[in-house]
Amino acid sequence: MEVAAAKLIGAGLAAMALIGAGIGVGNVFGSYLAGALRNPSAAAGQQTNLLLGFALCEATGLFGLVVAFILMFGF
């Protein structure tokens, strides 16, 4: 029983990866907005970089999710 409990606690702890992902995604969009308001004419050209940054950043949080799944279902 203790192993099952430890698995669930570990999976819950792995969800803390989302703290970093949240900060990162907020930083990506916040910095973009700050830059876009300073120089609106250059903003449109950076939208692909914005989405790339968002996707790369979001993925790091999801690695934590994978760890949680491995803990719960993997072994």
In which element (H, E) is residue 49 found?
helix 47-69
Closest CB to another protein among residues 35, 58: 58
In the complex with another protein, the residue whose CB is nearer, 2 or 75, is 75
Angle CA(25)–CA(13)–CA(72) in degrees, nearest 5?
Answer: 110
Q: Which residues contact 14 (CB under 8 A, 6 or more apart)?
A: 64, 65, 67, 68, 71
Looking only at residues 10 through 69 of this chain, which bind another protein when binding is defined by CB under 8 A? 48, 51-52, 54-56, 58-59, 62-63, 65-66, 69
Q: Which residues form the interface with another protein (CB under 8 A)?
A: 48, 51-52, 54-56, 58-59, 62-63, 65-66, 69, 73
